[in-house]
Amino acid sequence: MRCPSCQHLSKDVVAKFCSQCGHKLLPAAPGAASENKLTAPSAPEGGAECGRELMDSSPFSSLGPGNGQENPDEHCSDASLQIQRGAASEGFMDAADGTSHELEAASPSASKRRKEDAALTKVSDVSSPDPKQANGAAAEPAGPEKGPGKEVKDQTKETKQPRASVPASRDHRQETQTKDQTAVPGGKAGENEKASLKPKKEPKKPEGNNKNNAAAEKNAKEQRNERTGELSPKESPLSSEEGVTVCFHAIISKHFEFNPSQHQVFVRGGEEFGKPKWKRNVCEMYYTRDLHELGSLVEGSAVIARQHLDKPIPYKYVLQKGKGAVEYEFIYKPQQKESEPVNRCLQVKSSLLGSGDWHQYDDIICMNPPGAWQTFKDRFTDGTRKDLVKGKQTAAAIMLDSIFSILETWNAINLKSFFTQFQQFYSVIRVPMIYEGKAQPWSTLEYEEKEVKKHLWECLTKKMEPFLKTSGDPLPKDCPVRSKLRMGLIILFSVEKFHIHLSKSDLTSLCHLLCSDPSSPHELHSDLIHILEIKHSWRNSLVNLCQRCMDGEVDLWVCTLPVLHLCMEPSPPTKDAGVQPEDTWAALEGISFSEFREKKSDRKQLVQLMGKNRHLLSVDARLFRSWFSLLPLRTLVCYMRECSEYLSRFPSHILDCLLGTCYRLQELKGPLTNLEVGRLPSAPESWLSRSRPPAGQSQLGGAFSENLTIKSILQMLLSLLDTYQHKMLEEPLIQSYLTVCLKLHETTCRITKDHTFYEMPALSAEIVCRIIILKPLVDSAGGQHSEAGEKNSVATVFQGTLAATRSWFQRVFQNRVFQTGVLSSNVRFTYPEEIKIWRRLVEIHFPVELGWKETLLGDMEGRLKQERPLSQIFAFSSTTWDAEGAEDSVSKCFEKCAIEAVSLVCQSQTSLLEKLSYKDLWKCGTLVSAVITKSWPRSRGQVVHDLGEVLKHLLTWPDIKQLFHLWGTFTEGAGLWPVVLSDPG
């Protein structure tokens, strides 16, 4: 089968579309067996039933007399309008902006009507329509040249050739040669097929593209036209650059009793189609489908010069029955002026031409009503107007089915044509137009754009329905689009291009279509590769959809993000993790995600939705980041816990958890609250430290504490590093981990402005420690970098961590260490938990060679030594700080400072032991031993052992009385006195 557009020859004789250019292939011409009388093709399976439904409730069946119609308001549902597609040529076109389609009243046959109403005389000469037809007449009728009697006499001598049921190719371009640069008929595609049919009482003509047969057909047609006075359509020499093919699509009403084997339908119009205007057949419309009670679908094409683009052109459809009788269609609109008939309006928009063709989708071609003009005026009631609107909607649904049928063959060419056609179609139905002296909206029809959009959305909703069913049934066989993702993008295109308002349920349905089914990124890309090549701002459309859903509180939009990410350029890789803005890192550019996550602090349903659709994480690598950035702080722990299995397979996303947390903490401004750090009484440590929810609770759907905030997030991050460190050894991202963890620690120290929240910087420092410890293991396994370079990297990160920690201590401990009461011995800590805080951070196990512990202990010692010696001694001996034993480095540092303070005090020969507290034996023994040692007499720097000197010292020493008092106080002080009475040397 040969394509009429690109001439590609296909071996498949039953192919519907060209495999090269995507155009609809013409069906084969009827055989000789149907030469005497062609009948309409039988409807597809199920078509007869639909036809009966339409017959019972046709919206225009009540307009004509003699119809025993039912209530005109009782029309068939939209579902009944899904007419089965026949062998029509399904091209790609959109209707022009200003076409008006009318319904027609049922009427008797043409011959009977001529007898009943002599005023409506049939036009015998094509160039001279009767002015008395008023609305049904041509725009500028010329004076009559022949009487009706002569017309009938001449035409009875002519033998009528049966018409072939061959549609015009929608993208067929005529290659003809004449001097007329205006318009030509588009029905030439079926010329050879018509020639192959044997006319009545004439020898059978052979089939095929026989030039002699074509010439004979042409000569016979010219002779017939000469007898009837009809001007033969001229062929145009316009090239594709000079002219534009206009394909007409219309429904001829059943009331015409149209017989494709005996009748002809033409287009006639203004001088833009060729001169003389209204006196020539611009193109012939060929029968393509039986619509049962609605009538018949006819199609044809013509070429107009490009100079007429974007300009209104009047035209009408004309029916020619046997013996040359010609009848103009009737438009149900009262004329404003008697001299200006109402015509259809064609306006080819150059901005919507696409590949270069224009498809004019019209509605129903109606008959001229019987009776006088006043009869029509009296009958043009509101009921008639409603029927006209319903007729337009019925026709629009049928035409929309034809537009969608092109997608039965899914490729880039067909998609491009589909979207071009769809836009042309909407540009016509958006505002019904007529030509009455000039192009103008059909305002009396009261069919506003909002109603058009509503009906269009109803039609699109029906096409969405098979994909929204949860029963799991397969798609209907006649559904041209076989993927819900593809259908979702088509619907999204319509919503964006035509500015259709969607309700909350509509948004949910659209998001459901755009929630991907593929199990891998490759499948997702393969499913959408062709449609995303269409020139359209898919990314902006999807972003707008997300914003609509956020405004309408439809959370399902988060599942459409894989499709959005497919439309976006991937973020360029950066050497320094965290340099990108958060929206770029999270692939949420253009989406107000921060406002979304803060709008409600509790997003339990959103977390549940993400858990239900966690399979999408394997489809889109950027989705984990996006979802992380969409959740409020208190739900992040639950999210990371739920994704633990995914993180085990893709440990690189642990880095995303760290960086995502860092982004979130950087946004916090002002002092942290108890809620933010998880210090509310209702947040037990046992729950914060859990790695899994309580038994019986869903991992995402169960109740979880509202207090899982920054502290619990840092704990979860630390747990992830501990759990998956063996997998991280295989990751080439350790350097990025170091950088991100340092940034996380610096940010944590910056936002923690209260010393009571010390656990946060301690946890963030531990996170850095884990990576620093892990780094040498990765280096030894991979050996990717030089040893010197790695040492410098670790050293740099460590120094940054240490500097941030020391800076934090300086900010939170701005006051003195001790406060002294009325009594000099009444010393208390300014910050009761200071020693505990020092101990928590000092005991983090950084590698010894880095000097973490020594540096912080030096800072603590320097802070203590700024206090008076007695204050240091009294504070050390008090019970307001808890010592953890001799192995506690912070306690040892404090003890060192206290002993050095004892040496200074003992030089003043004042009593010290009587002022000390002895509740803590370890502290007491340490201090008593220090006092004895520091007070013992010395000679030339050596301890005196002479008994006389020792006795003299004991008798004159101020603390000797207190020392003997201790002997009686500590009756069980056997462990103390060996220390007290030991050799001071």
pLDDT by residue (tens digit) across 199-220?
333 333 334 444 444 444 445 4
Q: Do 804 and 833 reside in the same domain of the chain?
A: no
pLDDT of residue 15: 57
From 789, 809, 829, the end of a domain falls on: 809
pLDDT of residue 5: 62
pLDDT in tens, 232-251: 455 555 665 679 999 999 99
Q: Do 832 and 766 reside in the same domain of the chain?
A: no
The reply to whether 160 falls in a domain is no
Q: Which domain holds residue 876?
A: 818-968
Query: Residue 888's CB: how many other CB atoms inside 10 A?
Result: 17
pLDDT of residue 506: 97
* DSSP structure class, residue 278: T
C-alpha to C-alpha distance for 297 and 287, rounded to whole angstroms: 6
The reply to whether 893 falls in a domain is yes
Q: Which residues contact 83 (CB under 8 A, 6 or more apart)?
A: 47, 50, 289, 291, 292, 294, 398, 401
pLDDT of residue 933: 73
Q: What is the CA radius of gyration of the chain?
A: 46
The reply to whether 66 falls in a domain is no
User: By the 8 A CB rule, do 511 and 545 touch?
Assistant: yes
Predicted confidence band of residue 13 (pLDDT cuts 50, 70, 90): low
pLDDT in tens, 910-934: 666 666 666 555 666 676 676 677 6
pLDDT of residue 221: 47
pLDDT of residue 215: 47
C-alpha to C-alpha distance for 611 and 643, rounded to whole angstroms: 8
Question: For 686-715, what is the mean pLDDT?
Answer: 49
User: Which of the two residues, 9 and 523, has the higher pLDDT score?
Assistant: 523
pLDDT of residue 701: 36
pLDDT beyond 50 at 353: yes
Lowest mean pLDDT among 224-233, 324-333, 600-609, 656-665: 224-233
Q: Do 716 and 838 reside in the same domain of the chain?
A: no
Helix axes 148-156, 211-228, angle to 10 degrees: 150
Q: Do 297 and 319 reside in the same domain of the chain?
A: yes
pLDDT beyond 90 at 807: yes
Q: Do 872 and 955 reside in the same domain of the chain?
A: yes
Q: Do 786 and 829 reside in the same domain of the chain?
A: no
Q: Using alpha carbons, select from 158, 108, 162 the residue that is nearest to residue 324.
A: 158
pLDDT beyond 70 at 865: yes
User: By the 8 A CB rule, do 84 and 46 touch?
Assistant: yes
Predicted confidence band of residue 288 (pLDDT cuts 50, 70, 90): very high
Question: For 956-962, what is the mean pLDDT?
Answer: 64
CA of residue 735 relative to chain centroid, distance: 35
From 754, 789, 809, the end of a domain falls on: 809
Query: Residue 668's CB: how many other CB atoms inside 10 A?
Result: 14
Predicted confidence band of residue 792 (pLDDT cuts 50, 70, 90): low
Start-to-end CA span in the chain (Å): 116
Q: Do 909 and 888 reside in the same domain of the chain?
A: yes
Lowest mean pLDDT among 260-274, 458-472, 624-638, 924-938: 924-938
User: By the 8 A CB rule, do 486 and 528 touch?
Assistant: yes
pLDDT of residue 693: 38
Predicted confidence band of residue 840 (pLDDT cuts 50, 70, 90): very high
H-assigned helices in 430-536: 449-468, 484-498, 504-514, 521-528
% of residues, the chain, pLDDT over 90: 46
pLDDT of residue 918: 60
Pair of tokens at residue 794: 């670790």
User: Which of the two residues, 97 and 304, has the higher pLDDT score?
Assistant: 304
Question: For 379-395, what is the mean pLDDT?
Answer: 85
Predicted confidence band of residue 510 (pLDDT cuts 50, 70, 90): very high
Strand partners, 481: none
The reply to whether 229 falls in a domain is no
pLDDT beyond 60 at 714: yes
Domain count, the chain: 3
Question: For 359-379, what is the mean pLDDT?
Answer: 74
Q: Do 315 and 408 reside in the same domain of the chain?
A: yes
pLDDT of residue 207: 41
User: Which of the two residues, 145 and 593, has the higher pLDDT score?
Assistant: 593
Which SS3 state, helix, strand or coil, does residue 92 take?
Answer: coil
Lowest mean pLDDT among 165-169, 172-176, 404-408, 863-867: 172-176
Angstrom CA distances, 242 to 260, 352, 353, stand at: 33, 17, 14
C-alpha to C-alpha distance for 567 and 508, rounded to whole angstroms: 21
Q: Which residues contact 474 (CB under 8 A, 6 or more apart)?
A: none
Pair of tokens at residue 678: 């998880």
Predicted confidence band of residue 947 (pLDDT cuts 50, 70, 90): confident
pLDDT beyond 80 at 665: yes
The reply to whether 400 falls in a domain is yes
From 394, 419, 447, the end of a domain falls on: 447
The reply to whether 386 falls in a domain is yes
H/E element holding 626? helix 623-630
H-assigned helices in 631-754: 636-642, 644-649, 653-667, 674-677, 685-688, 710-723, 725-728, 734-751
pLDDT of residue 122: 35
C-alpha to C-alpha distance for 140 and 965, rounded to whole angstroms: 134
Q: Do 891 and 964 reside in the same domain of the chain?
A: yes
Question: For 284-311, what is the mean pLDDT?
Answer: 94
pLDDT beyond 80 at 679: no
The reply to whether 146 falls in a domain is no
User: Which of the two residues, 258 and 139, has the higher pLDDT score?
Assistant: 258
C-alpha to C-alpha distance for 301 and 284, rounded to whole angstroms: 8
Q: Do 783 and 844 reside in the same domain of the chain?
A: no
Predicted confidence band of residue 960 (pLDDT cuts 50, 70, 90): low
Pair of tokens at residue 939: 């000679």
C-alpha to C-alpha distance for 965 and 918, rounded to whole angstroms: 12
Angstrom CA distances, 163 to 44, 111, 198, 596, stand at: 22, 21, 10, 64
Angstrom CA distances, 574 to 431, 570, 650, stand at: 52, 12, 20
Lowest mean pLDDT among 84-98, 394-408, 725-739, 818-832: 84-98
Q: Which amino acid is at 298?
A: V
User: Which of the two residues, 335 and 841, has the higher pLDDT score?
Assistant: 841
The reply to whether 123 falls in a domain is no
Q: Do 730 and 805 reside in the same domain of the chain?
A: yes
User: Which of the two residues, 602 and 920, has the higher pLDDT score?
Assistant: 602
Mean pLDDT of the chain: 73
pLDDT of residue 962: 60
Which SS3 state, helix, strand or coil, does residue 289 take?
Answer: strand
pLDDT of residue 26: 54
Strand partners, 252: 296, 365
Which SS3 state, helix, strand or coil, does residue 257 take?
Answer: coil
Q: Do 255 and 300 reside in the same domain of the chain?
A: yes
The half-sphere exposure of 182 on its side-chain side, counting CA atoms within 13 A, is 17
The CATH number covering residue 323 comes to 2.60.40.10
